[in-house]
């Protein structure tokens, strides 16, 4: 039986724990084929032999798979507020079974950061974060959980040591963290939102690209999705100018609390 791309994917999974099935096959296969051609190697089987024996080419290959640049604990001071103030406050109001939504989650750095932050207070087996994005490819990358050194630079040292494993020039997040995030497809502009369900919604550095009308619509829908007393965490470059009109209380520049019950 010829050694084809399916066999190569299986071998890569065994060698690196990277599941190429999580990526769009046509695009990923084209990238890998280009890398093989670059080195003048004939076929997937020969390339796998090279990956097993040539450390430099192995590291190049793994790093090549890290398509998107992401960043954990972006804006560290805001995450310190999350850990020191917001999470304890939510636990005091709602207990440790918190329902949390990471909206427009991109490649997973944000929901995984949330799980690690929550793990300071809540046992991992009790943590569940829903993470959504409209892009299937970035969700696939998020499920893979492979990141560059730069991406995880902001992760606290103890959590980095505990939950990341070096693979080539990249870092693989542990299954202990990955298993606590449920990824779904969702379009903030067109899909339905749950009503009165979440204790915290995190949506950062995405709405800056929306029109004012679209941002207002999304902020109102987030309001409806939060339980009274729930918290919305937005990005450094974002603000809700009409937060009082919607029904939020502004806790600081990035955190807004739903404090009123509206129909």
Q: Provide the residue range defining the domain that includes 14.
A: 5-65
Whether residue 57 sits in one domain with residue 80 = no
Please state, for a pLDDT cut of 90, what percent of the chain lies above it: 66
Look up the CATH number of the domain holding residue 172: 3.40.50.150
| pLDDT given for residue 59 in this prediction | 78
- pLDDT of 262 > 70? The answer is no
| Residue 148 bridge partners (DSSP) | 170
| pLDDT given for residue 65 in this prediction | 66
Phi then psi for residue 147, to 5 deg, are -135, 155
Residue 223: pLDDT band with limits 50, 70, 90: very high
Whether residue 81 sits in one domain with residue 45 = no
Give a yes or no: residue 263 inside a domain: no
Rounded to an integer, the average pLDDT of 171-198 is 94
pTM of the model: 0.76
CB-based burial label for 180 (10 Å; 0-12, 13-18, 19+): buried
Residue bearing tokens 């791309």: 5
| Residue 131 bridge partners (DSSP) | 102, 183
Give a yes or no: residue 32 inside a domain: yes
Phi then psi for residue 7, to 5 deg, are -65, -40
| pLDDT given for residue 51 in this prediction | 94
Rounded to an integer, the average pLDDT of 46-70 is 79
- pLDDT of 69 > 50? The answer is no
| pLDDT given for residue 193 in this prediction | 97
Whether 177 contacts 117, CB under 8 Å: no
Residue bearing tokens 């304890």: 88
Residue 103: pLDDT band with limits 50, 70, 90: very high
3-state secondary structure the chain: CCCCHHHHHHHHHHHHCCCHHHCCHHHHHHHHHHHHHHCCCCHHHHHHHHHHHCHHHHHHHHHHHCCCCCCCCCCHHHHHHHHHHHHHHHHHHHCCCCCEEECCCCCCHHHHHHHHHHCCCCCHHHCCEEEEECCHHHHHHHHHCEEECCCCCCCCHHHHHHHEEEECCEEEECHHHHCCEEEEECCCCCCCCCCCCEEEEECCCCHHHCCHHHHHHHHHHHHHHEEEEEEEECCCCCCCCCHHHHCEEECCCCEEEECCCCC
Report how many domains make up the chain.
2
Structure confidence by residue, pLDDT tens digits, 124-167:
999 999 999 887 778 888 999 999 999 999 999 999 999 999 99
Whether residue 126 sits in one domain with residue 254 = yes
Give a yes or no: residue 185 inside a domain: yes
Whose CA is closest to 206, among 100, 136, 105, 74? 105
For the chain, how many residues are written? 263
Please identify, among 65, 84, 117, the residue that sits at the C-terminal boundary of a domain: 65
Whether residue 100 sits in one domain with residue 122 = yes
- pLDDT of 63 > 80? The answer is no
Whether residue 159 sits in one domain with residue 115 = yes
- pLDDT of 24 > 70? The answer is no
Whether residue 209 sits in one domain with residue 86 = yes
Please identify, among 43, 65, 87, the residue that sits at the C-terminal boundary of a domain: 65
């Amino acid at each position: 039986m010829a050694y084809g791309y399916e066999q190569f994917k299986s071998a890569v999974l065994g060698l690196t724990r990277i599941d190429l099935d999580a990526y769009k096959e046509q695009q990923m296969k084209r990238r890998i084929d280009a890398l093989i051609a670059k080195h003048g190697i004939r076929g997937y089987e020969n390339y796998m032999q090279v990956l097993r024996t040539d450390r430099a080419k192995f590291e190049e290959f793994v790093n090549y798979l890290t398509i998107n640049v992401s960043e954990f604990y972006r804006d560290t001071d805001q995450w310190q507020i999350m850990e020191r103030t917001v999470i304890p406050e939510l636990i005091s109001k709602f207990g440790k079974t918190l329902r949390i939504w990471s909206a427009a989650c991109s490649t997973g750095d944000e929901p995984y950061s949330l799980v690690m932050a929550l793990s300071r207070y809540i046992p991992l087996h009790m943590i569940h974060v829903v993470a959504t994005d409209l892009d299937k490819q970035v969700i696939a990358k998020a499920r893979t959980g492979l990141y560059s050194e730069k991406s995880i630079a902001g992760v606290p040292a103890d959590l980095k040591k505990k939950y990341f494993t070096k693979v080539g020039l990249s870092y693989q997040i542990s299954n202990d963290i990955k298993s606590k995030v449920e990824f779904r497809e969702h379009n903030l502009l067109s899909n339905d939102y749950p009503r009165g369900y979440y204790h915290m919604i995190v949506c950062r550095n995405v709405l800056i690209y929306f029109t004012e009308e679209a941002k207002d619509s999304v902020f109102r829908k987030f309001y409806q999705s939060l339980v009274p007393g729930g918290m919305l965490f937005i990005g450094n470059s974002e603000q809700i100018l009409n937060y009082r009109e919607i029904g939020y209380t502004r806790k600081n520049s990035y955190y807004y609390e739903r404090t009123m019950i509206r129909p």
